[in-house]
Amino acid sequence: MVQSFTPRQRKVRILATLGPASANPEMIAALHVAGADAFRVNMSHGDHAGHAKAIAAIRALEKDTGRPTTILVDLQGPKLRVGTFKDGPAELVTGRTFVLDADQAPGDATRVHLPHPELFAALEPGTRLLIDDGKLVLRVKQVDPGRIETVVEVGGRISDRKGVNVPDVVVPLAALTEKDRKDLSFALEQHVDWIALSFVQRPEDVAEARRLIGGKASLLVKFEKPAGVQRLEEILEIADAAMVARGDLGVELPPEAVPPLQKRIVATARRMGKPVVVATQMLESMIVSPSPTRAEVSDVATAVYDGADAIMLSAETAAGAWPVEAVTMMDSIARSVESDPDYFRRLHFTETQPDATTADALAEAAGTIIQTIAADAIICFTASGSTARRVARERPNAPLLVLTPKRDAARRMGLLWGAHAVPTKDIGSFEEMIAKGKRMALRHGICTAGAKLVMMAGVPFGTPGSTNVLHVATLTGDELRGYS
């Protein structure tokens, strides 16, 4: 028997990052109850043994609740860093010269080791180097083999292994480092649902990751480099989902450039039918405070109004003092926005034209039918999840019940707007489709007597990618009595 679990009372999904404050089974369960639909495991911190325990706790929770729960592993990517300093932190003075070189000796206020030979070939006079998330700014004056001479434009304190951002050029770095490859292998062994690829600059980066994943997980691309945003559609064509990683975007771009880019990435992903996550600093003050600022609340609300599939908490749940309260607040904000009578009208400011396929045409038609007859729910029978993604792209004003014979497909839908995914046995006939659709809608509390249900499936049944049936059914009182 399929276990019943209540649908979330909101469409947008919540992705919570695990860390020292939240990676134990009790806290994971508490975050789930508070509203977390998916969990992010950040490979920039911790070790494989600790991550394996967290993943096992999530799978145990899924078994207890019956609700498919999504796990996303976020690869660190090629993070650029300076070397170390001989006498502790050094003070860089504005207007003075500072050199980055291939010499591995500890640095001082005049120079430091740069352990990234790719940069020596990519940089040219006039290029900016941003150190420590942009707190220090260097301008390249001259580049020689093994030596980069810069002028300090914004000075300050620099210390061991601070990060380096290069916003003005495409650095010829592979998106997957040796560490990433080991972490990816670990993640696939753990049967996680999504892999997030960091610091993507080119479509080739995504193609390489997809080859290594080999269909064992879905692939999300983080847009945090201007070079990646410039090739947004090419990259999204290969990826399964997108993330607006505003933290690193805000380092390499002026802060005022990030909001328009966020809207562009969200709208483009929606048009292409790819789930999109908005992330970073959404409720940042809740790392130390039990309540957010009003500006943060407005920021989260904007992402929901724009139609993001998911919104993410980072340090708020990974290392903050109030992880459960942060999820509860995000859930509350999302529900408030979605109860706004204007919410669905705003969602459809973004036009989503269907592709020239039968499945896309039916998904668009389903959305129209729901509006025309005020249908109470839409039910998708799908093996891969593609039908559900097409329907979700239309942002229908009705619950979306997704029935799939594949548990991994149900888990991956934890980042999909509005989807209530249920693993269940496949159907074999048209009559079984209708009966099962009604039964599942009742079991999961989606509708009651008199409800109109829009059902989508593919014939022959059980064949992925064959969506070609759209049927409207009415749930009668007799069926309700039979179910009870």
Q: What are phi and psi of 307, to 5 degrees?
A: 95, 20
Q: Is 222 a catalytic residue?
A: yes
Q: 197 by DSSP, 3-state: which?
A: strand
Sheet harboring 128-131: ordered strands across? 111-113, 97-101, 147-154, 136-144, 128-131, 164-165
Q: Looking at residue 446, what DSSP letter applies? A: -
- One of 8, 10, 11, 40 is an active-site residue; which one? 40
- The model carries a pTM of 0.91
Q: 423 by DSSP, 3-state: which?
A: strand
DSSP string, 87-116: TS-EEEPTTSEEEEES--S-B-SSEEE---
- One of 13, 67, 128, 222 is an active-site residue; which one? 222
Q: What is the rounded CA–CA span in Å between residue 422 and residue 409? A: 10
| Mean pLDDT, the chain, integer | 92
At residue 484, the pLDDT reads 43
Q: Is 211 a catalytic residue?
A: no
Q: What are phi and psi of 401, to 5 degrees?
A: -100, 120
- One of 79, 81, 346, 439 is an active-site residue; which one? 81
Alpha helices, H only, 35-163: 48-65, 117-122
Q: Is 350 a catalytic residue?
A: no
Q: Which amino acid is at 96?
A: R
Q: What is the rounded CA–CA span in Å between residue 338 and residue 307? A: 10
Domains and CATH numbers, the chain: 13-77+174-338 (3.20.20.60), 90-165 (2.40.33.10), 358-483 (3.40.1380.20)
- One of 280, 317, 328, 387 is an active-site residue; which one? 280
Q: What is the rounded CA–CA span in Å between residue 59 and residue 405? A: 18
At residue 478, the pLDDT reads 63
Q: Is 231 a catalytic residue?
A: no
Going from the first residue of the chain to its last (484 residues), give the mean pLDDT of each consecutive group of 10, the final group possibly shorter. Answer: 77 98 97 98 95 98 95 94 94 97 96 93 93 94 95 96 89 88 98 96 94 97 93 97 93 91 96 95 96 97 97 97 98 98 90 80 88 92 91 93 95 97 90 91 88 88 75 77 50
At residue 206, the pLDDT reads 95
